[in-house]
A and B are shown apart, each in its own frame.
Chain A
Amino acid sequence: MSAVTPSVPKLEAPGRVTFARVLASEWTKFRSVRSTVWSAAIAILLTLGIPLIGAAVVSSQWRQMDPGSRGDNHPLDIALVGVSIAQLVVAVLGVLVISAEYSTGSIRSTFTAVPKRLPVLAAKLVDYAAASLGVMITAVLISFFATQAIFSGIRPLHLSITDPGIARCVLLSAVYITMVGAFALALGAITRNTAAGIAVFAAIFFVLIPLSHALPASWGDPIRKYLPANAGIQMFQLHHDQYSLSPLAGGLVFAGYCALAIAVAAFLLQRRDV
């Protein structure tokens, strides 16, 4: 055979598609694009940076504060203040994990390799959730202990991870943000478009609550606590009242929204042309 005549080497080890292999494949895709690295770095920076700056400011001004202002600064809120901002980054990356496959056309390669499709969605969710959970638990734990270190000289701001509710709030804040990521990934799969996915996410998380205030209080108040964002954040709130769900109830309601979004995404994924 001459040099220009190509010959395809035989495949020595034939394979078949398994879910574990799709997980490995999706992990390769996830780690091999820049947006992942950038988003992870920004999410960590926000989750750690904002509490550290906040803690430094409160600690330096503590002596001049009157008792009322002092009471406004709960050390747990300061430790977890980055979560509410980092969730936006986690949501954007969640949308991108699947929407970028549609915008670049790589979804056709993906579904040619795994034509049953559903394992792809499941693997993306598992991989992204695992990555998000791992990164965010680390980040919020560091944030908690680092802000406590900054507060070491201020007795009223001391917290222990073993105090009632503290460990639950710190750890579930990472779980919450992971669920936000999964919810956003499902929105990306439903909209198949980065801008649309992010817009729908923003509408659900940042527009519904102000909108509920436009309703009469007798309607808006009972509805509001069941909205996705309000239900979800109860997982890492220390105090609850009649306007909020319990951590368990809030977590379950939010999980229900996530499950619904994923179910819609799975249904559409099976039916639509690519």
Chain B
Amino acid sequence: MIEARDLTKNYGKKRAVDGLSFTVQPGVVTGFLGPNGSGKSTTMRLILGLDAPNRGDATVNGRHYRDHPAPLSEVGALLEARSVHTGRSAYNHLLALAQTHGFPKRRVNEMIDLVGLHDVAGKRAGKYSLGMGQRLGIAAALLGDPKTVLLDEPVNGLDPEGIHWIRNLLKGLAAEGKTVFVSSHLMSEMALTADHLIVIGRGKLIADTSVEAFVSGASQKLVLVRSPDLTRLQEKLAGEGVSFTPAERGALEVHGLTAEQVGDAAAAAGITLHELTPQQASLEEAFMDLTRDEVEFSPVIPSQPEGEEAVT
């Protein structure tokens, strides 16, 4: 479990993370969404103690990351920035990490096999492709069999097979009861992988919700219905907050009702339905709706702490 409380980080005058509070629960994949530059990577560095917050703090499984006796078995982290010496082989990189915790060499080989780097494990990491570098980073993250996995843009540079592999890996880890926190700016990826979403923009929390609630909450209730008796259906459905838009021939868009409500009403009136389709906004659209203001209209210097006048 990861808990962030009022996490705030400034780089010079720029506030990268602004009063962020959230909890990442075990057993589900939690997606960490935000536009580029919204503070996702900074938040992850704050959780790992690589950067120190100006205010607030973050704990992992109840303690600050640095206070754990076996950090690699608490959190496995893949950071977005490269974190490998270009002159060192994958094997020696992983071995050096394993040795800090006294993990055996066998463990290093297991991880190399797991991510499919067997044939290149002896080569210098500087010669790796982006995808191979990601695989090495994932091997390092899983080395300590961690309770919590923190991955920053893990599918970057991976081929379709690799992306599929990551997706299954994350779901598998969550199914084992681990805490999985994975950042992405790709909404479509999160739609396939995540159960829960934490959305930030300009360093501030925008949403902390399930994927379903995020999509339905951001989109209006909108149902496409097809029936040979549209006129009578329209009469039955009419009411406050309900409106209709004629769609293609023989179909109607119903605003303000769920598919269940439309279906129940039709059944009660004995009206035949040929189609009943909830028109959900995609996660991508929901995300764009929610973060648009944060991206375009936020001031350059975000809000100051309470009681202080903003200085420009």
Binding site for B on A (CB under 8 A): 4-11, 13-18, 21-22, 24-26, 28-29, 32-35, 100-101, 104-109, 111-116, 271, 273-274
**CA–CA, A14 and B102, complex, Å:** 8
The reply to whether B173 and A8 contact each other, CB–CB distance below 8 Å, is yes
Whether A9 contacts B114 in the complex (CB less than 8 A), given A4-B164, A100-B85, comes out as yes
- Chain B residue with minimal CB distance to A274? B50
Contacts of A26 on B, CB cut-off 8 Å? 96
The reply to whether A28 and B86 contact each other, CB–CB distance below 8 Å, is no
Q: For window 46-104 of chain B, which residues contact chain A by CB distance below 8 Å?
A: 48-52, 65-66, 68-73, 75, 77, 79, 81-89, 92-93, 95-97, 99-104
**CA–CA, A113 and B83, complex, Å:** 12
B144 CB-CB contact with A under 8 Å:
yes
Whether A17 contacts B88 in the complex (CB less than 8 A), given A10-B145, A25-B99, A109-B83, comes out as no
Contacts of A9 on B, CB cut-off 8 Å? 110, 114, 145
Interface core residue of A28, A34, A116 (most chain B CB under 10 Å): A28
Q: How far is the CB of B52 from chain A (nearest CB, A)?
A: 6
A22, A35, A273: the one within 8 Å of B51 (CB): A273
The reply to whether A17 and B101 contact each other, CB–CB distance below 8 Å, is yes
Whether A16 contacts B145 in the complex (CB less than 8 A), given A32-B89, A105-B81, A115-B65, comes out as no
Q: How far is the CB of B274 from chain A (nearest CB, A)?
A: 38
The reply to whether B114 and A8 contact each other, CB–CB distance below 8 Å, is yes
The reply to whether A5 and B172 contact each other, CB–CB distance below 8 Å, is yes
Contacts of A15 on B, CB cut-off 8 Å? 70, 73, 101-103, 144
Contacts of B88 on A, CB cut-off 8 Å? 29, 32-33, 106
Whether A22 contacts B66 in the complex (CB less than 8 A), given A9-B114, A113-B72, A274-B50, comes out as no
The reply to whether B51 and A24 contact each other, CB–CB distance below 8 Å, is no
The reply to whether B100 and A21 contact each other, CB–CB distance below 8 Å, is yes
Q: How far is the CB of A185 from chain B (nearest CB, A)?
A: 16
Chain A proximity mask over B33-54: 1 for CB below 8 Å, otherwise 0: 0000000000001001111100
The reply to whether B104 and A112 contact each other, CB–CB distance below 8 Å, is no
The reply to whether A114 and B71 contact each other, CB–CB distance below 8 Å, is yes
The reply to whether A101 and B85 contact each other, CB–CB distance below 8 Å, is yes
The reply to whether B70 and A14 contact each other, CB–CB distance below 8 Å, is yes
Q: How far is the CB of B86 from chain A (nearest CB, A)?
A: 5
The reply to whether B100 and A114 contact each other, CB–CB distance below 8 Å, is yes
Whether A273 contacts B45 in the complex (CB less than 8 A), given A104-B82, A104-B86, A109-B83, comes out as yes
**CA–CA, A16 and B107, complex, Å:** 15
**CA–CA, A100 and B85, complex, Å:** 8
Q: How far is the CB of A193 from chain B (nearest CB, A)?
A: 16
B84, B97, B102: the one within 8 Å of A18 (CB): B102
- Chain B residue with minimal CB distance to A5? B168
Interface core residue of B52, B95, B100, B164 (most chain A CB under 10 Å): B100
B198 CB-CB contact with A under 8 Å:
no
Q: Apart from A11-B73, A107-B83, what are 9 other A-B pairs with CB-CB below 8 Å?
A: A4-B164, A17-B70, A34-B87, A100-B85, A108-B81, A109-B84, A111-B49, A112-B50, A112-B83
**CA–CA, A106 and B86, complex, Å:** 9
The reply to whether B92 and A6 contact each other, CB–CB distance below 8 Å, is no
Contacts of A28 on B, CB cut-off 8 Å? 92, 95-96, 99
**CA–CA, A109 and B85, complex, Å:** 9
The reply to whether B165 and A29 contact each other, CB–CB distance below 8 Å, is no
A33, A111, A274: the one within 8 Å of B87 (CB): A33
B142 CB-CB contact with A under 8 Å:
yes
The reply to whether A16 and B50 contact each other, CB–CB distance below 8 Å, is no
- Chain B residue with minimal CB distance to A28? B96
**CA–CA, A34 and B87, complex, Å:** 7
Contacts of B103 on A, CB cut-off 8 Å? 11, 13, 15
Question: 3 shortest A-B CB distances, which residue pairs?
Answer: A15-B102, A11-B145, A15-B101
The reply to whether A113 and B71 contact each other, CB–CB distance below 8 Å, is yes
B283 CB-CB contact with A under 8 Å:
no
Whether A6 contacts B169 in the complex (CB less than 8 A), given A29-B96, A33-B88, A115-B65, comes out as yes
Contacts of B52 on A, CB cut-off 8 Å? 271, 273
A7, A8, A105: the one within 8 Å of B84 (CB): A105
6 A-B residue pairs with Cβ-Cβ distance under 8 Å, sorted by A, are A21-B99, A21-B102, A32-B88, A106-B84, A113-B71, A115-B65
Contacts of B190 on A, CB cut-off 8 Å? none
Interface core residue of A24, A109, A111 (most chain B CB under 10 Å): A109
B4 CB-CB contact with A under 8 Å:
no
Q: How far is the CB of B17 from chain A (nearest CB, A)?
A: 12
B29 CB-CB contact with A under 8 Å:
no
